[in-house]
Structure formats: structure tokens, C-alpha cells
Amino acid sequence: MALAHAILVSLLDRPHSGYEISKRFDKTVGFFWRARKQQIYQELHKLAEDGLVSAETVEQVDRPNRIVYSITDDGRQTLDDWVREPTPYPSVKEELLVKLFSLGDVEVPVLVDQVRQRLAEHEERLAYFQSLMKTHYPKPATLSGRKLGHYLGLRLGVMNEESGIAWCKEALLLLERPKAGAH
């Protein structure tokens, strides 16, 4: 279990449809836990079967009906138990690292391009996180509850991007440095 819990957490605030959860994921939690909409729909079915969420169809005119899910007491209990379990260290799949390990058999400029691309992505994400920071959390000193959790998530995002940027710059310096011993 894992995505199940992320969905349950989303429902703590208020009920949501699968579509809404999917959209929310893209903008907030999705930066730390990616999930496709198909997976969210399927997971919601499972959660409903297990009685951790309850479903209610909301009829709509001129557009498809929505199925709105709410967390149940069982769901709340499941979440609470899960939060107390030890948290596994996040699993990393960093292809760029694997590519760097091939240095020597692949020309340096190819890898320089890859690092530059990554740097641009980090900077874009950092800018996005910082804009969220400004609009939603101008003064973090007064936060509490759910809001504080969201703020800390954003802070982790900012700090990760910053350290990624620092690494890219260092890597570029070393990769683009004229070869030692070249005349």
C-alpha cells in the first residue's frame, strides 16, 4: 500500500471526485508522488471495496456525472496506523547518474547537454515552488496543522531543487574544464 494512503490523505480535507484528486496530484502531491489518472480511478475502486472510502454519484446536466468519494472511519484508522509505521527511505531511480557512469565511452558534450537540461528543469521547478511559497505562505512562523505539513512539503521541494541546481553547476564546471595535460 502506498498510493492508497496518498489518496486517503487527499480526502482528509474534504470529499473529492477521482478527477479532482488527479488534478490535485498534478499540482501539489504529484511533485513528490506521481500517479496517472487511470491508477487513481482504479485505486479508488479498491478503496471503496475495502470500505476505506464511500462513493456517491452526483448527477450533472450537460456534463458527465461525478463520483465523489469521502474517507470513512475505517479509512481514517488505516491512515493513522500507517503513519505510525516506519517510513522507508525514498526509492530513487536517477537515470542521469547511470548515464554519468558511462563517462569515458560516451563523448563528454552529450552528457554536458543532459546536465544542462536537468539544470533547466530544476530551475523551472524551483521558480514554481517559490511562487507557490509567496502566494500561499508569506509568513511561515504562524502556521499549524495541515497548513504546516503543506508548507514543509514545499520547503523540501525548494531545498531539493536548490541542491540539484548546485550539483548541476559543479558538474558542468568539472565536465567542461579543459582536460588536464592537454597542450
Cβ of residue 143: shortest distance to its own copies, in angstroms?
A: 7
C-alpha cell at 53: 472510502
* Residue whose C-alpha is closest to residue 112's, from 180, 179, 181, 173: 173
Number of residues assigned to the chain: 183
Number of residues engaging DNA in binding (CB under 7 A): 28
Among 49, 60, 94, 138, binds DNA (CB under 7 A): 60
Please, are residues 97 and 74 in contact by the beta-carbon 8 Å criterion? no
CA pair distance 42, 40, nearest whole angstrom: 5
Q: Residue 89's binding partner, choosing from DNA, its own copies, none, with beta-carbon cut-off 5 to 8 A by kind?
A: its own copies
C-alpha cell at 164: 540539484
Q: Residue 131's binding partner, choosing from DNA, its own copies, none, with beta-carbon cut-off 5 to 8 A by kind?
A: none
Which burial class, exposed, middle or buried, applies to 143 when counting CB atoms under 10 A from its CB (0-12, 13-18, 19+)? middle
Backbone angles phi, psi at 53, to 5 degrees: -135, 155
Residue 66 or 125 with smaller CB distance to its own copies: 125
Among 27, 42, 57, 149, binds its own copies (CB under 8 A): 149
- Which of these segments, 37-45, 59-67, 126-134, 170-178, binds its own copies (CB under 8 A)? 170-178
- Which of these segments, 37-45, 59-67, 130-138, 162-170, binds its own copies (CB under 8 A)? 162-170
Residue 50 or 113 with smaller CB distance to DNA: 50
Residues 31-70 within binding reach of its own copies (CB under 8 A): 31-34
Judged by phi (left if over 0) then psi (alpha if -120 to 50, else beta), residue 181 lies in left
Positions that interact with DNA (CB under 7 A): 1-3, 17-20, 22-23, 34-39, 41-42, 44-45, 60, 62-67, 91, 93
